[in-house]
Amino acid sequence: GAVVSQHPSRVICKSGTSVKIECRSLDFQATTMFWYRQFPKQSLMLMATSNEGSKATYEQGVEKDKFLINHASLTLSTLTVTSAHPEDSSFYICSAREGVQGGGTGQPQHFGDGTRLSIL
């Protein structure tokens, strides 16, 4: 159980393109999903928290107009990297948390397999 599917797994595109990444919880409802960025040989850096039916909360230093997040259903969140540039190249990973929004401390987060984004 607790499977999170992330698509696509890899994207290579030209500078200036917008890229959409999908994150789905397959066998549980996730009112809260998270988007992370990971540079090579480094830890996960939280970009934003995505809550179903409301605006995402972005971490300090993350441009909300650059990284658009939509969480329209209990099983789907999307991250759109707008007008991507080479410096946006990275490994983007989503996670989905079990349990109700804002409730229950210590609910497990389950991760997708990531999207490797390469901007030429």
Partner 1 sequence: GENVEQHPSTLSVQEGDSAVIKCTYSDSASNYFPWYKQELGKGPQLIIDIRSNVGEKKDQRIAVTLNKTAKHFSLHITETQPEDSAVYFCAINTGFQKLVFGTGTRLLVSP
Map the footprint of partner 1 across residues 33-92, applying CB under 8 A.
34, 42-44, 46, 49
Binding status of residue 6 toward partner 1 by CB under 8 A: yes
Q: Is 80 left (phi over 0), alpha (psi -120 to 50) or beta?
A: beta
| Separation CA 6–CA 24 (nearest Å) | 6
Q: For partner 1, which stretch binds (CB under 8 A), given 12-20, 63-71, 72-80, 106-114? A: 106-114
Check if the beta carbon of residue 111 is closer than 8 Å to that of residue 49: no
Q: Which residues bind partner 1 (CB under 8 A)?
A: 2, 4, 6, 32, 34, 42-44, 46, 49, 93, 95, 97, 102, 105-114, 116
